[in-house]
Amino acid sequence: MELKRFFALIILSTLVCFILPHANAQKVKRVVIDAGHGGHDPGAVGKSSKEKDITLSIALKTGKFIEENLTDVQVIYTRNTDVFVELYRRAKIANEANADLFISIHCNANKSTTPYGAETYVMGLHKSEANLAVAQLENASILLEDDYHAKYEGFDPNSPEGYIFFSMLQNAYLSQSLNLASIVQKHFKDRVNLFDRGVKQAGFLVLYKTTMPSVLIETGFISNAKEEKILASQEGQTYIASAIFRAIKDYKASVERTEPQLAQNEPDSKPVAHNPEPADIHTINVTDVPVSENTETAPDNQLKPSDQAIVFKVQFLISKSPLKTSNSEFKGLKDVSFYNHNGMYKYTYGNERTFNAANRLVKELRSLGFKDCFVVAFQNDERIDVEKAKGMLN
């Protein structure tokens, strides 16, 4: 067993020496997005949701943002459906694709319901028992694989001593991975208002064989009731995916020495100063939701009786207290309405029968200075997911 591990270290050291000269000539042309767990491996389980479902949704949303905004970047998924993918195969997919980034998306969990917040890991030796516990939780997926002892050189995910092996593994892309991880955490804190638990190192099997900058993102604690609501909601998943996308965009600009450009279908990167969300770490800044620039034509014809309760509006302003219709914040807009959400007054404009009709109003409002406006959908005066509303109409 020890001899096999020795030879594995020799091979890995040779690989590191080979790829190290190329580590500084990085460009971002291919990004592999890894949705943690899947299939018969649910991952962490909350009161009403499973990690495997949350990670898949966030992964697909992140990929969509990349495809829409970074047209020179190819997105590759380790899974895009609810299937089980072995940990070693996830790294293999990235390596065989000659990927430039590997992003593994997960949800954290703890026996206590108190912990909350997001943290991003890079490959390395854990420096605390808490980091080791997170790695053990994620690495336990190999126990669901056939003949895992042979695949992972006898590694036991439940043995703390086994993680000493990782102390000898220094990824050639450690500095780039740390850079990316820091940017991810910054966007989680500044844009999604998640508590920043920091950048950490631990021995994750899904990372240790990748040959490119790689991070494992713990998006929040599914074991915390408030964070589970964010993680399980379409709204929360959109904001988290948007933050990951922005981190990739900023990282790409930094390594390629270019200025990050504001894409047509993402909001201004600066939060609106006059209508901040509450400081509560469990709330989300809804002004940061990327707007879809869907140019698909759809007839503005009369809706079927069963669909008449569905309308699309453009959300453009948030306030902690109700505003008078004459308020200068509205910049002369008429027929403004509002709804209450998370204790905030959220103002909308328009009352359209199709998404495309509402999306045309987005450009109109942005020209008036509402840079962070976006389309929302309602059914019977209750807000619902925009994609769900579009699907119901189709």
Out of 31-40, 114-123, 296-305, 308-317, pick the least confident. 296-305
- Sequence letter at residue 114: T
Asked if the model's pLDDT at residue 285 lies above 60, the reply is no
Query: Residue 307's pLDDT is what?
Result: 42
The mean per-residue pLDDT over the stretch 217-244 comes to: 94
Asked if the model's pLDDT at residue 236 lies above 50, the reply is yes
Query: Residue 36's pLDDT is what?
Result: 92
Asked if the model's pLDDT at residue 257 lies above 60, the reply is yes
pLDDT in tens, 343-375: 677 889 888 888 888 888 888 888 888 887 888
The mean per-residue pLDDT over the stretch 172-186 comes to: 87
Q: By percentage, how much of the chain surpasses pLDDT 90? A: 33
Tell me the domains of the chain and their CATH numbers. Answer: 2-255 (3.40.630.40), 286-393 (3.30.70.1070)
Rounded CA-CA distance 287/270 in Å is 10
Q: Model confidence at 262, in pLDDT bands (50, 70, 90)?
A: low
Asked if the model's pLDDT at residue 388 lies above 90, the reply is no
The mean of the pLDDT values for the chain is: 75
Q: Is the dihedral of CA 347, 350, 352, 356 positive or negative?
A: negative
Query: Residue 106's pLDDT is what?
Result: 94
Out of 43-52, 147-156, 181-190, pick the least confident. 147-156
The mean per-residue pLDDT over the stretch 188-206 comes to: 85
